[in-house]
Structure 1
Amino acid sequence: MDLSKVKNNEKLNLCVWYFRAGFFCLPFVWLVNAVWFYKEAFKKPPYEEQDSIKRYVIFSGIGAFIWTLAIGSWIYIFQTNRVAWGEFADSISFVTPTGRA
């Protein structure tokens, strides 16, 4: 979609919709929202809805960053402790590796 062809109030509605969708454990939607509306929020000449779009872009970027940190931390913790956690780690694994590293 070309945002230059969309009315400003529709841009705001779309930005809000993507922001709310991110709360359903979809951090990728927050990332898309932050990237897609960045120019609208910070590079375009000022217009009425821009302050609201800017707020949603910032919160979407922060949310995507926090999710990335949380998922990355979980991956690191799980991968470094999988063998020590034994049967519990195997039961929460999607693919159970055989043997030890």
Structure 2
Amino acid sequence: MDLRKLKNEDKLDLCRKYYLDVIRSMIGTVIWTAIISVWIVIFQLNRVSWGDTADAMSFIIPRGIP
């Protein structure tokens, strides 16, 4: 797309769309980061009490005395 051929109003509209997309992307990133962080904390705090279920969800099964 050649921006030199667009009217100034169309350029402004395009910039606004990009701006809103970037803002929405940042908001989504913050939300997903919060969700994943909360899940990690919950999983780490309850891993032992969840037993085999937590071991099945884990990629690394720690060594230890059963």
Which TM class, normalised by the smaller chain length? 0.7 to 0.9
Looking at CA atoms only, which structure, 1 or 2, has the larger radius of gyration? 2
Question: TM-score, normalised on structure 2?
Answer: 0.75
- 1:85 paired residue number: 50
Question: TM-score, normalised on structure 1?
Answer: 0.51
Please provide the CA RMSD for this pair. Answer: 2.0
Structure 2's unaligned 5+ residue stretches are 4-10
Shift of 1:48: 3.7
Shift of 1:99: 2.2
Determine helix, strand or coil for the equivalent of 2:12.
coil
Q: For each residue in 1:27-70, what CA deviation from the matched residue of structure 2 results, as whole angstroms up to 9, or x when unmatched?
A: xxxxxxxxxxxxxxxxxxx8341110111011000000011001
- Percent identity for Structure 1 against Structure 2: 44
- Paired amino acid for 1:50: C
- 1:69 paired residue number: 34
The one of the two structures with greater contact order (alpha-carbon pairs below 8 A, sep at least 6) is 1
Structure 1's unaligned 5+ residue stretches are 1-6, 9-45
- Paired amino acid for 2:45: T
Count matched residues. 58
